Structure 1
Amino acid sequence: MCGTILSASMLTWVGRQYDRYGARPVALLATIGLGIVLIYLSQVDRIQAVIGADSTSMVVNFLIMFFGFFTLRFSGQGALTLVSRNMMMKWFEKRRGFAMGFSNVTTSLTFASAPVFFEYLIQRYDWNGAWMILAVITGLVFPFYILTFFRDDPEKSGIRPDGDFVESAQSKANRFPVVKDFSLSEAQKTIGFWVFSMMLAMQALYWTGLTFNIVSLFEHAGYDRETAVSALIRDCHHRNLGCE
């Protein structure tokens, strides 16, 4: 929780860097940083041994894990997500709602299937091996993907937002005209900004807490580990997560 909140508080700074340098440089640094963080998390037991801490050293262990999860959330869930979503919105105007809806559905499906994939890696390669595999994927594979496919503005690629999409005569009327463009400081003084921000923040905090602790939560409720890691994608009768 502490790592999530601190990383979220720094995303405004990431937004400024995105506006200044564009999508590709910021995304590239974020994914390389994410790979380094995953390597760090795979070695936390050795770091603990080097420092000389044991399982009862609560402050040292907290700081070790706090740094890991702060940098994990900041580079991956924070910076990389921010850059990707903002870049996508630049490529769509009239069909932005459709693009965001498609993105949200895809993100939800991959998010729901992630625990199953992670559990497979943990069972086969242990927890530190799983971190290392993810580090290779994010630190080496993702940069090539970003360099190949990420583009900051469609105009720089010689095309227009939405491509060759032609809107119908009925949809040409702007049903939601922009009355005023707000700066960050102006937006922070409105109640609407905080309503939407807190709604998104609570969603992120809830799903993070549930996903990180899903095995222990389900074990406390009497379900086995296999049921826990597949709960987010299992299609059960009568919406009962425990049924077969």
Structure 2
Amino acid sequence: MTYFKFLRENARWLSASYLLAMFSGFGQTFFISLSAGDLRAEFALSHGDLGLLYMLATLGSALTLPYVGKSVDHFPVRTIAAVVMTTLALFCFAMASTFSVWMIALSYYGLRLCGQGMMTHTAVTAAGRWFSARRGRALSIALLGLPTAEALFPLCFVTLAGILGWRGAWTVAALVLLLAALPVLMVLLARDRVPSATEIASIKAEGRQWTRNETLRDSRFWLVSCGINAPAFIGTAIFFHQVYLVNLRGWSLEVFASAFLGMAAGVVCTSLVVGPLIDRFSARRLLPFTLIPLSLACLVLAQYHAPLSAFIFMGLIGISNGFNSTLVSSFWPEVYGTRHMGAIRASAFSVMVFASAAGPGLVGWLIDIGVPFDMQVRAMGLYCLIFCAVLALVARAYRERETILKPE
């Protein structure tokens, strides 16, 4: 099947997954952090204070996600999508009307759980289950929704905030979800996708179907998680403190917001290349290479302070995110099967959310005690290089295990 024929025959479901990933942007750090400066000024919070609030709220969403995430295994995607998108809109309204510190924490919690957590989780779980034989391609297309949001949402927020104020921008986000995104999504998901005979055969060929408890007892799961969640930790930490970064460098927030276009372009190009490569070579074989672009991004940000470095850094972050998100979304069902993927992926997402929660809080605390920002970024890059080697060893262990279990 050609790429364009695949797109044409499955446009309905690919579009639904794409929209879920795109509108998860309202719960992603790159969007939430745009109002961080206004929140600190209005409620007299330091970088560390707001980072701690964000960390605690995100940790709360990570603890909740394994319980609500397994609902994707038991309810239609259409039902899950409707509930999650409506709830996300309500938390956008909550952020727009926040009046106290505890209200900020509650809004952060809901935005992270519904946006970053359940919207993305539903998008990738549904796409991975619908398209077993062409999983890499399907996920690479679905996950293009996130770079679309990264390209459009920051500039839209900055523009709307200049006209309506930051509260008005959050109100518009809620209305877009309820009046535009939700009706379109309900039309697209009115009919569920039935896998073809070839795809059903592919699912059967995947072998052992791991349960969530079995997966969590597998040491390889945790080693892989420590590596593949580095982008969540590093990206979230830097994006959340982007106002501090641009002030430190002497850049403008508009310049940094425009650099998200380079990041989006990196995600799009890489996703479209990596998806077919996964279908051809497998996610396991590509696993050791996923952190190389991120290590280069950290090097650029730490060593070069000219405004151009913002665009180079964001482009490399985009390549890293496109590589990592597409690979990881294919990797879990590839090594653990699809039968219990909703529960397994919810746990994997929860670990990722823990990583993204730790980043803003830790970096904010280090900023407050005077640790140089460049030193922090260099340490992040070194961690990525170390885990390139670790992931290579783990990928080999997965392949050896598959060889042992394969019937002769």
How far off its partner does 1:142 sit? 2.2
Over residues 98-150 of structure 1, what are the superposed CA-to-partner deviations in whole Å (9 max), with x where a residue is unaligned?
12123334423432443222211111211000000001011332221221112
Which runs of no fewer than 5 residues in structure 2 stay unpaired? Answer: 1-54, 264-299, 312-408
- 2:256 aligns with 228
Of residues 185, 196, 203, the one that matches 1:160 is 196
Amino acid at match of 2:245: L
Tell me the distance in 1 between the aligned counterparts of 2:145 and 2:123: 13
How far off its partner does 1:208 sit? 2.6
- 1:8 aligns with 62
Aligned ranges 1:148-187 → 2 under 5 Å: 148-150=187-189, 153-155=192-194, 160=196, 178-187=206-215
Length-normalised TM-score, structure 1: 0.76
Amino acid at match of 1:23: V
Amino acid at match of 1:242: P
Tell me the distance in 1 between the aligned counterparts of 2:197 and 2:163: 45
1:102 aligns to 2:144 (yes or no) = no
Tell me the distance in 2 between the aligned counterparts of 1:161 and 1:73: 38
Aligned ranges 1:52-131 → 2 under 5 Å: 61=101, 63-131=102-170
More helix by share: 2
* Count of residues paired in the alignment: 212
Amino acid at match of 2:219: I
Over residues 155-212 of structure 1, what are the superposed CA-to-partner deviations in whole Å (9 max), with x where a residue is unaligned?
2xxx63889xxxxxxxx9x8xx644221101100112211333334432233233333
Length-normalised TM-score, structure 2: 0.47
Tell me the distance in 1 between the aligned counterparts of 2:164 and 2:221: 44
Amino acid at match of 1:160: S
Tell me the distance in 2 between the aligned counterparts of 1:162 and 1:204: 35
> Does the Cα contact within 8 Å between 2:123 and 2:142 map onto a contact in 1?
no
Of residues 76, 85, 91, the one that matches 1:37 is 91
> Does the Cα contact within 8 Å between 1:92 and 1:161 map onto a contact in 2?
no
How far off its partner does 1:40 sit? 0.8
Which runs of no fewer than 5 residues in structure 1 stay unpaired? Answer: 49-60, 164-171
Amino acid at match of 2:189: F
How far off its partner does 1:28 sit? 0.6
Of residues 70, 75, 88, the one that matches 1:21 is 75
How far off its partner does 1:219 sit? 1.2
Over residues 6-35 of structure 1, what are the superposed CA-to-partner deviations in whole Å (9 max), with x where a residue is unaligned?
212222222221211121111111111111
Amino acid at match of 2:178: G
- 1:132 aligns with 171
* Root mean square deviation of aligned Cα: 2.7
Amino acid at match of 2:251: Y
Overall identity of the aligned pairs, in %: 22
How far off its partner does 1:151 sit? 5.6
- 1:205 aligns with 233
Distance 1:2 1:201, change over 3 A: farther
